[in-house]
Amino acid sequence: MHKQIKNGNLYLGIAIVMMIVLFISSSMTYQQQSQVSTIQKYLSEEPFKAALSHISFDYAGTQISIQAEGYVKFVEFFIRKAAHFTTYFIMGGSLFLGLLPKLKQRSLMLTLFFSWLAATGYAATDEFHQMLTGGRSPLFQDVMLDSCGALTACLIIIIYRLLRNKK
């Protein structure tokens, strides 16, 4: 197992698993993925509604607010976007850690570039895949969110490695 971590193969495996999960997820309709009934069940008291009702913004040309969407859809929006960011955070970080030994640790920036580019490219193809799935809306904004998740993971790893090497 230690060898798999050292040569990066374990991390590349994690990235591939994330790609498979995302592909399957993109194959599902919105109705199949909807968390509305779960949110209604567990958040029936609508906690923090008063505080959240002050939040309003546009995302992909749609107003996101409790007033426009209702409490449950508003909460679901944040759950779905957090899932975007988190899955690509894991993928980007895994690609970075998997590619670093392959590039002989020549350049953190080169590894960053390839990892981020690969994750962003996958995000774009994933949104295209959603376009082919009924009841789904491919959004450029989601690609940017996914890309930010991947970049964030890569930058955290670089900062950690630089701080660790200083010690």
- Using CA atoms, how far apart are residues 106 and 98, in angstroms rounded to an integer? 14
CA–CA distance from 66 to each of 83, 139, 140 (Å)? 20, 21, 23
Q: Establish if 7 belongs to a structural domain.
A: yes
Mean of all residue pLDDT scores within the chain: 92
| CA 149 to centroid of chain Cα atoms | 5
Q: Establish if 17 belongs to a structural domain.
A: yes
Residue 1 has pLDDT above 60, yes or no: no
Say which residues have a Cβ less than 8 Å from residue 89's Cβ, sequence separation at least 6.
Answer: 149, 150, 152, 153
Q: What share of the chain is helix, strand, coil (3-state, %, to 5)?
A: 75, 5, 20
Render pLDDT for 98-129 as a digit per residue (tens, 0 to 9).
999 988 766 888 999 999 999 999 999 999 99
Q: Establish if 51 belongs to a structural domain.
A: no
Question: Count of domains in the chain?
Answer: 1
**Three-state DSSP state, 57:** strand
Render pLDDT for 16-35 as a digit per residue (tens, 0 to 9).
999 999 999 999 988 888 89
Number of H helices, E strands in the chain: 9, 2
Instruction: Tell me the whole-structure pTM to 2 decimals.
Output: 0.91
Q: Establish if 59 belongs to a structural domain.
A: no
Q: Report residue 105 as tokens.
A: 């640790």
Its domain, for residue 113, covers 2-40+75-166
The percent of residues above 90 in pLDDT, for the chain, comes to: 75
Q: Establish if 64 belongs to a structural domain.
A: no
Q: Establish if 50 belongs to a structural domain.
A: no
Q: Establish if 65 belongs to a structural domain.
A: no
The pLDDT value recorded for residue 166 is 84
